[in-house]
Structure 1
Amino acid sequence: MGQASTDIGAVLRGARCAARLTQAQVGKACGYSASAVSRIESGKLRLDYASLLRFAAFLGVGDDQLRASAVPGMAKVATVAQSYPVDEEDDVRRRNLLTGAMGAGAVAVMGTGSASAAPLDLEVSLFRLPPAKPVPLPRLVQQIAAARQDYYAVQYNRLAQVLPRLIAAAEATRDASSGRARDEAHLALARTYVLAAELASKQHSDATWVAADRALSAARSSGIPVAVGEASRMLAIAMRRSGRPAVAVQMLTSEAADLDAAHDQTRAVRTSLLLTGAYSAAAGHDRNTALDLMAEAGEELGHQDTTAPGLFTVDATPAQVDAYRISVFNALGTPDEGVTIANRLDVDRMPTAERRARAWTDIARMWNALGDGQKTFDALQRVEQEAPQEMRRPALRALTAGLLYGPTRLEGVRKFASRTGALT
């Protein structure tokens, strides 16, 4: 999908957030499903000219905002009336936001905003890996470990640069190996594809499907249950985000059941699968299943060790379970049930910047749903402190944009929006 679709999607997303509308509301008005609106806003689905004008009219986007360069061959987009009255200050802020959104498409979703930020195009690179030669397994494992640290440290740009070459090297090493060494190479390859799936998932990219499927194939070939569990978890996340949460739950619970509960090394993975299953059930508005799976995941914590060693190190802690509880209540539409949990959660004790940023993101979403703009802003600032590149994710930019047009004027939010890419 070309840059034009990404730019237009960013404009429409910014206008929707400014109007404080949901994707479902916009879709209903324009004849699309909520999932289709999501794909339009992320640049995955291209609108024809007539449909674009329908969206623009409903969202109050004018021809000065839909720049001619955004759509090849479109010399002029018809001027449309503003659908939502705003005061003069908000009108200026809206124009600035949309101008920033137009430019944001040219920068990686996880970018830093600097000129050196590289595009994250896993959908292309996964199908056109660079040439590579086999490398000794110890060196390959060391390189994969370094890449994992980049993910945990939220160095997404650097990880995006090294992943295609790392995957290519892992495939070449697997192809050149035999016997036990081939099994170990399959395990290494599975780890690289899980990393690719995790990174693609951050930007809600369809590449998550490709990477997760390849990860699962390599994991099964390795014969390592922990690797199979982690790859299955990423595939289930892709299923959930494509609108099939019930199928995702079924897959996650089946994989968890297949893991040997008596084996310490699989307990952390079982817990991780159950937590992801709980959130998937919540996304599908299945409260009973979501709470049952959360309870089961909590019970697993009573059976230490909850850490899986090796290339697929997975840890499960009470803090991680609590963070998931907040996200589950958010998805169920009962964020108030997460307030007590958020107040007791010591995010600073969580082991990685990526996990701490995720926890603060869930807390920000909770306070936003409860209408507390200041606490939402406080939580988003903590996300930025932990992991600046996380704030470049579309969902967090949209959350920041929403604060600009909320009922409460928040000191510093405009500078924050500018600094994090929601407003330039």
Structure 2
Amino acid sequence: MTQAQLGRACGYSASAISRIEAGLLQPAEQPLLLIAKALHLSLDAIGVGRPASLARDVTPDQEDAMLRRQLLVAGMAATGASMFPPSATAAGRPDASARIVGALYETSATAPTSLRQLAQLLGTARAQFTAARYQDLGEALPDLLGTAQATRDMLSGRAREEAHAYVARGWVLATEVALKIHSDVAWPAADRALAAAQSSGDPVVHGEAARVLAITMRRAGRPAAAVDLLRRTADSLSRDHGDVPRAVAATLLMTAAYTAACGQRRGEALELMTGAGDAVDRLADVRIRPATALFTVDATRAQADLYWIGVHTALGTPDEGIPYAARIESAQLPTAERRARYGTDCARMWHHLGDHRRTFAALRFTEQVAPEEVRRPALRALTADLLYAPVAVAGVRELAARTGVA
């Protein structure tokens, strides 16, 4: 069974199954029982008693299923009662999600600063995200958010609205990092982002916050509500005659298309992607000034092609994503984070097509452009699938060792 097949059998997304396998999500009782039923596991096997006793004699056809069971059980057992990943990495550095939790619930004694200095700090943080240096960003976020909020609290009028926008963008970054590591702290971080964005009165910042909130909604099993939020926000931004709001609207439509695809709503997903592509084409000759550039995403043809890969893979038609993957040149993608996303989406596409060697090649590309990306739970689960696949691929075991899979 693939992660998507198991997810459909028990009401979870493939992403959620990946998180369970990686030990980062503890299912509630009812979903846990559905997972056990789908995998024909006893109650003892799902972490309430002794380890699962697997049959000694299995046929070759059963081997993959047994390995997936072992991985899933190991992930559920490793999760325990905690809703967050461990608070320290192997190197002794604080985990990014733990730092975000601290920023959410612990009062920071950070001093305020000028709006100009705050913009510079935010620019540095954004550069860390686009360079895929998530650990460094996670460490910097508490002080950045504390400074942004302290600065906002001392201001009034238009200056306060501008500070609200900076606070919102800080929380957008925090949500992005939490989503990367599949941490449930993404939800409260996205809520903070949207609240600050609404106070800023800036429709572009509101669109950025709505996008990350919608992703958390999708991850929480509410794709229809997420698509509705993205559609409404994109429609509002599209009415603005500015290039930047329209570009944000295009990125929201792409996110909505992928969200609909994850919910297996094929017609809606294709319609949304077609609309996003049309919007991108209308913006193709527009040069957006650096001062008003989008925060973490862009609206380009290469970006649209990237989303087409993800949409077709989520819909179960990964072969239709191959032409889009073929025409993307990684150099077209503006940041290490986007290039890593290209590698990740290609890895998933080839994995769904059963091409283990190309899956591994895509993972290696991702590791080369952004080493922290392949240590994310979703990619570690993909590496584990390759490690236990019936066809051995040279280099997989070494990748698994480097990323902590084996």
**TM-score for the superposition, normalised by structure 2:** 0.83
Q: Quick check: 1:389 aligned with 2:368?
A: no
* Match of residue 205, structure 1, among 173, 183, 187: 183
For residue 403 of structure 1, the aligned residue among 386, 397, 406 is: 386
| 1:77 maps onto 2:55 in alignment | no
Q: AA paired with 1:22?
A: Q
Name the CA shift for 1:295/1:352 in 2 (closer, same or farther; >3 Å): same
Partner secondary structure for residue 315 of structure 1: coil
* Secondary structure at the counterpart of residue 81 of structure 1: coil
| Aligned counterparts of 1:84 and 1:112: Cα–Cα separation in 2 | 40
TM-superposed deviation, 1:332: 0.7
Report SS of the residue matched to 2:105. coil
Q: 2:232 maps to which residue?
A: 254
- AA partner of residue 287 (structure 1): R
Which residue pairs with 2:163 in the alignment? 185
Residue 118, structure 1, aligned to residue 97, structure 2: no
- Aligned partner of 1:236: which letter? A
Alignment match, 1:361: 344
> 144-153 vs 295-304, which deviates more?
295-304
Other-structure match for 1:343: 326
The 1:256–1:97 alpha-carbon spacing in structure 2 relative to 1, beyond 3 Å, is closer
Looking at structure 1, the residues matched to 87 and 133 of structure 2 have their Cα atoms a distance apart, in angstroms, of 9
Deviation at 1:81, TM superposition (A): 3.1
Pair 1:169-2:173 in alignment: no
Hey, what does 1:12 align to over in structure 2? none
2:173 to 192, 195, 201: 195
Q: Which has the higher contact order (CA 8 A, sep 6+)?
A: 1
Aligned to 1:293: 272
What amino acid is the match of 1:357? Answer: A
Letter in 1 for 2:366: V
Q: CA deviation at 1:294?
A: 1.1
1:279-314 deviations in whole A, cap 9, x for unaligned?
A: 111111111211111111111122342647448545
Contact 2:248 2:294 in 1 (8 A): no
Q: Is the 8 A contact 2:24 2:182 kept in 1?
A: no
Answer whether contact 1:170 1:185 (CA < 8 A) is retained. yes
Cα separation, partners in 2 of 1:173 and 1:422, compared to 1, 3 Å: same
Q: Percent same amino acid among aligned pairs?
A: 45
Change (3 A) 1:97 1:295: closer
- SS of residue paired to 2:372: helix
- Counterpart mapping for 1:220-231 below 5 A: 220-231=198-209
1:234 corresponds in structure 2 to 212
What is the distance in 1 between the residues matched to 2:57 and 2:341?
33
More moved, 116-125 vs 206-215: 116-125
Runs of 4+ residues deviating >6 angstroms: 96-106, 108-113
Aligned twin of 1:417: 400
What 5-or-longer segments of structure 1 have no aligned partner?
1-19
Residue number among 352, 355, 359 corresponding to 2:335 in the alignment: 352
Counterpart AA for 2:216: A
Contact in 2 for aligned 1:383/1:390 (Cα 8 Å): yes
Query: How far off its partner does 1:376 sit?
Result: 0.5
- Shift of the alpha carbon at 1:131? 2.1
CA RMSD of aligned residues (A): 3.6
Does the CA contact (< 8 Å) of 1:56 and 1:80 recur in 2?
A: no
How far the C-alpha of 1:269 sits from its partner, in A, is 0.4
Q: What TM-score, normalized by structure 1, do the two folds share?
A: 0.80
User: Could you tell me which residue of structure 2 aligns to residue 128 of structure 1?
Assistant: 106
Aligned length: 385
Distance 1:186 1:198 in 2: 18
Q: Which of 241, 260, 263 lines up with 1:281 in the alignment?
A: 260
Deviation of residue 416 (structure 1)?
Answer: 1.1
Contact 2:168 2:209 (8 Å CA) reproduced? yes
Partners of 2:151 and 2:398 lie apart in 1 by 48
8 Å CA contact retained: 2:26, 2:79: no
2:299 maps to 1:316:
yes
Offset, 1:317: 1.1
- Contact map agreement 2:344 2:366 (CA 8 A) in 1: yes
For residues 369 and 142 of structure 2, what CA distance do their matches in structure 1 show?
A: 26
- Summarize the Cα distance change of 1:413–1:331 in structure 2 as closer, same or farther, 3 Å threshold: same
Distance 2:56 2:2 in 1: 12
The superposition leaves residues 177-201 of structure 1 with CA deviations (integer Å, 9 ceiling, x where unpaired) of: 1112111111110110100111111
Q: Unmatched 5+ residue regions in structure 2?
A: none
Residue type matched to 1:25 in 2?
Answer: L
Aligned residues of 2:25 and 2:79 also touching (Cα < 8 A): no
Separation (CA, whole Å) in 2 of partners of 1:130 and 1:294: 42
Distance of 2:310 and 2:86 partners within structure 1: 22
Work out the CA distance in 1 between the residues paired with 2:72 and 2:225. Answer: 37
Q: CA deviation at 1:116?
A: 3.8
